[in-house]
């Protein structure tokens, strides 16, 4: 059975803003456009930015054809908000230049996430921490976002002592070239490899770069970002990231140990009432979250909710979300919504 409540996923019609999207032709940038369109946003001026080879090309949005401009042209038009979807090096070089003209920057890259004075925001969890002084706001890693949304009310009610996370991540998290590699392999074509191995009909425990301690950068992001978002360094976290040949979303098996005791029905009820979460948890009818059903949706889906009988205060969850939606584009659009309607520009 599927349960849901009102979710923090809609814009109010009264919103009017001048919005720039940096990296509009990439997977995340394109998804930002889709989210803006589907949520009926009222943007007075949409400024689209991409690489030099795309400048001058037109992108369809609603009933308009919008011409792609350069980064400097976008700055000269002084947008209210700029959503960056173009990678760490672009953010490093250009984000502060937008801030200098008064633009608020929401950055999807990893560049600002762990900088001390930059807020790392998931609207359902910590949007109230934003102030007018926050001119650059970091969007967390996609896998982190879906997990902290699912666990937020559990954290508030029972506390989080320890998390053991295993992720099963879509190739879309790596970008268009990785999607092409998988599709070419599936067709039996010679594929240009983004990954060190074939990804079609395969999976490998490797996301990001390997570090000296044996973890990967994607695994460390889950650990560090979760603690920063909850503002709680006491949570014990370990993670393993696995890449799988899927388009549609990231999945996570999360073993949770809380500080306070609970009944498993309390956990289920808490999840049912958590903003941004849809519970799918009816194993007798094979009803549980999957990437194929989470694809193009904005919520976080949770199922396989069950007690861990090996520890006193433990339980298991299966968490799935579209990594290009709630894991990136939707989260960024929600942040833009919040700072605009709360006059934080």
Q: What is the pLDDT of residue 218?
A: 97
295 classed as catalytic: no
Q: Are 134 and 119 within 8 A, CB to CB?
A: yes
**Are the C-beta atoms of residues 237 and 130 closer than 8 Å to each other?**
no
Model pLDDT, residue 224:
98
CA atoms of 164 and 252, how far apart (whole Å): 10
Query: Could you tell me whether strands 81-84 and 17-22 are parallel, antiparallel, or unpaired per DSSP bridges?
Result: parallel
Q: What is the structure's pLDDT at 1?
A: 32
pLDDT attached to residue 271: 98
Please give the pLDDT value at position 79: 97
DSSP assigned state of 90:
H
Nearest-Å Rg of the Cα atoms of the chain is: 20
Query: CA angle, 344 as apex, 221 and 110 as ends, to 5°?
Result: 15
Mapping DSSP to helix (H, G, I), strand (E, B) and coil, where does residue 223 land? helix
**CATH code of the region 143-323:** 3.30.360.10
- Which residue do the tokens 């953010």 mark? 91
Q: What pLDDT, on a 0 to 100 scale, did the predictor assign at position 6? A: 37
> E strand or H helix at 303, and its extent?
strand 300-308
Q: For residue 170, give both structure tokens.
A: 């879509």
Q: Which CATH fold topology does 2-140+327-341 show?
A: Rossmann fold (3.40.50)
Q: What angle do CA 277, 279, 284 make, to 5 degrees?
A: 165
Report the distance separating Cα 242 and Cα 203, nearest Å: 7
Numbered ranges of CATH 3.30.360.10 in the chain: 143-323
- Measured between alpha carbons, how far apart are the two ends of the chain, in Å? 41
From the list 197, 195, 301, 206, the residue with the least C-alpha distance to 251 is 301
142 is catalytic: yes
Beta bridge partners of 2: 280
Q: How far apart are CA 45 and CA 59, in angstroms?
A: 14
**Residues 335 and 121 sit within 8 Å (Cβ to Cβ):** yes
Residue 278 to residues 50, 292, 318: CA-CA distances in angstroms? Answer: 35, 15, 12
Q: Where in the chain is the domain with CATH 3.40.50.720?
A: 2-140+327-341
What does DSSP assign to residue 260? S
Provide the token pair at 335: 């942040």
Please pick, among 142, 203, 206, 295, the residue that the annotation labels catalytic. Answer: 142
User: What distance in Å separates the CA atoms of residue 294 and residue 245, rounded to the nearest whole number?
Assistant: 16
Compute the distance between CA of residue 47 and CA of residue 22 in angstroms, rounded to an integer.
Answer: 8
Which residue in the list 4, 96, 206, 250 is annotated as catalytic?
Answer: 250
- Report DSSP state, residue 141: P
Bridge partners of residue 17, in order along the sequence: 43
The answer to whether 35 and 29 have CB atoms below 8 angstroms apart is no
Location of structure tokens 């359902």: 124
Token pair in block for residue 211: 């570090």
Tens of pLDDT along the chain (345 residues) come to: 333 333 344 444 444 789 999 999 999 999 999 999 987 666 789 999 999 999 999 999 988 999 999 999 999 999 999 999 999 999 999 999 999 999 999 999 999 999 999 999 999 999 999 999 999 999 999 999 999 999 999 999 999 999 999 999 999 999 999 999 999 999 999 999 999 999 999 999 999 999 999 999 999 999 999 999 999 999 999 999 999 999 999 999 999 999 999 999 999 999 999 999 999 999 999 999 999 999 999 999 999 999 999 999 999 999 999 999 999 999 999 999 999 989 999
User: Residue 42: what pLDDT?
Assistant: 62
Q: How far is CA 93 from CA 13, 89, 99, in A?
A: 34, 6, 12
């Amino acid at each position: 059975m599927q349960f849901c409540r009102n979710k923090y996923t809609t814009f109010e019609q009264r919103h009017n803003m001048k919005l720039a999207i940096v990296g509009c032709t990439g997977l995340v940038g394109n998804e930002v456009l889709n989210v803006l369109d589907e949520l009926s946003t009222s943007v007075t001026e949409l400024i689209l930015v991409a690489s030099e080879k795309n400048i001058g090309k037109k992108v369809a949005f609603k009933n308009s054809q919008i011409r792609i401009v350069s980064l400097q042209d976008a700055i000269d038009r002084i947008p209210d908000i700029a959503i960056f979807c173009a990678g760490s090096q672009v953010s490093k070089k250009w984000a502060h230049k937008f801030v200098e003209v008064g633009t608020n920057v929401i950055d999807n890259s990893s560049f600002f996430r762990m900088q001390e004075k930059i807020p790392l925001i998931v609207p359902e969890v910590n949007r109230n921490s934003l102030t007018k002084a926050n001119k650059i706001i970091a969007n967390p890693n996609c896998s982190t976002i879906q997990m902290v949304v699912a666990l937020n009310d559990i954290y508030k009610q029972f506390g989080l002592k320890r998390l053991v996370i295993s992720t099963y991540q879509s190739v879309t998290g790596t970008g268009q070239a990785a999607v092409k590699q998988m599709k070419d392999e599936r067709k039996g074509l010679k594929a240009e490899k983004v990954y060190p191995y074939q990804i079609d009909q395969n999976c490998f425990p490797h996301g990001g770069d390997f570090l000296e301690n044996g973890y990967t950068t994607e695994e460390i992001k889950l650990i560090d970002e979760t603690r920063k978002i909850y503002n709680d360094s006491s949570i014990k976290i370990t993670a393993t990231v696995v890449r799988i040949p899927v388009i549609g979303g990231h999945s996570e098996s999360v073993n949770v140990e809380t500080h306070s005791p609970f009944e498993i029905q309390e956990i289920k009820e808490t999840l049912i009432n958590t903003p941004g979460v849809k519970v799918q948890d009816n194993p007798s009818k094979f009803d549980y979250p999957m990437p194929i059903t989470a694809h193009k949706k904005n919520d976080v889906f949770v199922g396989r909710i069950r007690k861990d009988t090996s520890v006193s205060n433990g339980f298991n969850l299966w968490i799935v979300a579209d990594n290009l939606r709630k894991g990136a584009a939707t989260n960024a659009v929600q942040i833009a919504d919040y700072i605009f309607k709360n006059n934080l520009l």
